[in-house]
Structure 1
């Protein structure tokens, strides 16, 4: 086990794509905590030498965080950027943030913002969050909150999942001083409603998404669905209770489909959320309302993760005793399979090893490896005096190391340990 950072400040890893493709650097931000968005720099540490480089420093009172690295471009980073010159009317919030890409020291807005009618297709009307590159590095997923509906009624501002595609740039008229252009065409791909019907597939929130497979997944008829995202969607049971279930959206391949409206306007209206484009199909995968402990768990917070081949989606759900365990399920549906068992369960977000043969997470104050077929647990560390952070456990792209965060003298530091072949 090797400690990588030592400065008396917090170092925050994102839950995926934290490593550079060559497995030599870990990117991080310096928020005081995961919930306090007041960091001013995006940085990286060399895992061999301990050298730290500042990749970006926020200007004009803005704050930044939640950085991910393009899996095929070692000098291309994306992160959340808060507003410059924040004031009482426009400060950092879920619906007041954007993605910024830095490459070669040059910063570019990822998503455009247009909050003035008529809204611009391909632009957003609010804030994007946790931008995750697709496995081929060509596009990104994110979660989204809407400024227009937030101003109308905060209860209408429902969390959704979106995609940023390399079909830009998008340049709105910029009639409002807080509007701007972006490099990518952005669209929402989930469909939510503030009033989900009890017992139905309706959802009031879509979140914690993950790309399905390095090349998508195979359908039962043998054809390949090239692009898909799995996510958690909050359903409503017959008694009115919230039950998080597993959902998937199949996404179109061609640029033209992304720019065609589906059932509703792409850019939304003053009273409705931006809508998915033509060819986006949302489907529910789990049906757990009748379980003794229904739904996916939200604690520990986790993101749905697919194995590289796209055959298995991994997520956390309670067992018969309510203990959070890893479960696997095909993107085609069927019955979920419980992978881990026992009293300790899973104590953190998790990720797949690049080989697809195992998953890594925190269990009982240890960093562990879980066999993807048998569920057998291999500890990679001894029980640690301070529990590792539940926010992120991330494998290096070469599969030789795993990194995490842990508090040392009240400051969150970065650690890694090797993985035996």
Structure 2
């Protein structure tokens, strides 16, 4: 083993997001500063140079707001997107799942970011604007759009049980103006829609879901469908179904998306912008499909621990996810976006302990197993340790390949705070 390198050292938490944390040249890692991953109290978005250790502050929040969960565009000139909490929070309006927004920073253009998603909570609602909070914004492989997860303020106020987690898409170069009838409303730089379809009470044994989350773009240029045609845009996500017995059963789902940006403006069965008693709805032409049916397995369903996000191979042919094997051990599994039976990729003696990422060439995954960062060969299932085994495992939140495939970034807890490390591949 060539050995790992610690990049951050101070007494603050340093939090990597689970994907897209590297600049395209593989020289910088972007992160936010939080005591713990679940404590959204960071003030700055920063980056660290992996060669020199130089740290740059990209943005500092003000007026009582906090920021976090930064990802980077794949462009040669990086753009940074992150969650921004509300300014001047008070007892009636403070950071929450439905009170946050996406913020996009092009540091070479301006020191000030722009708001990604417009916010309009006054009837009549505005198509392309959101009515709640967006989260974990991830650029598509070409940088033209972003995915995000979402919770809705209007539904939360009407009936919290109707505020269901969903997956959305933000399209660049389509700015949206909000009505500004409420003091918390604002404009956005992107046209935003929800693309998943949820229902508060799924029918047991059906493909209906009440939660869509942990999404990932499929392929650098989509995937080849069952007809041999290329589906250019698609997202995979975890959807919570109910088994025939009425028990929660997370499964793998796909949404096929329109090729043409203008198609996102065309409403489907229900209004894009939602109503006072209905969530925003997907555009016409968005197709949601269930891929896995695991109810009859000894240990059914996609696992929730460790928390992970569905990640597709660069060619789009394989969606990787975590599920227990017949012994009850958490393993990496694969399934085709076209459908069919999932197959077991890893055969570890102990649980996979982390989220994971694909090598840019698509032949391996980086993850944590047996308290080490390891390289998992997708074809053979063999694992090769990249770091020494330690008594306390590396953080399971993020294990991310660099774009050139030469490094893996991850975190360890040192004296109670996450610090950023890299290891060569």
- Please name the residue that 1:331 is paired with: 337
- Please name the residue that 1:193 is paired with: 199
State the alpha-carbon separation in 2 of the partners of residues 342 and 185 from structure 1.
43
Q: For the aligned residues, what is the CA RMSD?
A: 0.8
Equivalent residue for 1:232, pick from 229, 238, 247: 238
TM-score, with length taken from structure 1? 0.99
Shift of 1:255: 2.0
Is 1:38 matched up with 2:41? yes
Shift of 1:73: 4.2
State the alpha-carbon separation in 2 of the partners of residues 222 and 360 from structure 1.
30
Shift of 1:168: 1.6
Shift of 1:323: 1.3
For the Cα contact (< 8 Å) 2:377–2:383, is it kept in 1? Answer: yes
- Please name the residue that 1:372 is paired with: 378
Equivalent residue for 1:12, pick from 15, 40, 60: 15
Equivalent residue for 2:50, pick from 31, 38, 47: 47
State the alpha-carbon separation in 2 of the partners of residues 263 and 73 from structure 1.
40
- Please name the residue that 2:81 is paired with: 78
Moved more, 380-389 or 284-293: 380-389
State the alpha-carbon separation in 1 of the partners of residues 272 and 25 from structure 2.
38
Is 1:69 matched up with 2:72? yes
State the alpha-carbon separation in 2 of the partners of residues 41 and 382 from structure 1.
32
Is 1:147 matched up with 2:153? yes
Is 1:95 matched up with 2:101? no
Runs of 5+ consecutive residues of structure 2 not aligned to the other structure: none
Q: Which runs of 4+ in 1 moved over 2 A?
A: none
State the alpha-carbon separation in 1 of the partners of residues 84 and 417 from structure 2.
23
- 1:106 partner SS: coil
State the alpha-carbon separation in 2 of the partners of residues 74 and 385 from structure 1.
40
For the Cα contact (< 8 Å) 1:167–1:255, is it kept in 2? Answer: no
State the alpha-carbon separation in 1 of the partners of residues 308 and 234 from structure 2.
18
For the Cα contact (< 8 Å) 2:24–2:78, is it kept in 1? Answer: no
Measured against aligned partners, the alpha-carbon deviations of 1:46-74 in whole angstroms (never above 9, x if no partner) come to 00011100000001000000000001144
Equivalent pairs counted in the alignment come to: 419
- Please name the residue that 2:213 is paired with: 207
Shift of 1:166: 1.4
Measured against aligned partners, the alpha-carbon deviations of 1:238-257 in whole angstroms (never above 9, x if no partner) come to 11100000000000011221
State the alpha-carbon separation in 2 of the partners of residues 302 and 416 from structure 1.
20
- 1:348 partner SS: coil
State the alpha-carbon separation in 1 of the partners of residues 196 and 417 from structure 2.
37
Equivalent residue for 2:301, pick from 295, 302, 318: 295
State the alpha-carbon separation in 1 of the partners of residues 298 and 79 from structure 2.
45
- 1:145 partner SS: strand
Measured against aligned partners, the alpha-carbon deviations of 1:238-295 in whole angstroms (never above 9, x if no partner) come to 1110000000000001122100000100000000000000110000000011111110
Shift of 1:386: 2.7
Shift of 1:167: 4.1
- Please name the residue that 1:258 is paired with: 264
For the Cα contact (< 8 Å) 2:241–2:249, is it kept in 1? Answer: yes
Runs of 5+ consecutive residues of structure 1 not aligned to the other structure: none
- Please name the residue that 1:400 is paired with: 406
For the Cα contact (< 8 Å) 2:32–2:70, is it kept in 1? Answer: yes
Equivalent residue for 2:252, pick from 237, 243, 246: 246
- Please name the residue that 1:314 is paired with: 320
TM-score, with length taken from structure 2? 0.98
Shift of 1:372: 1.1
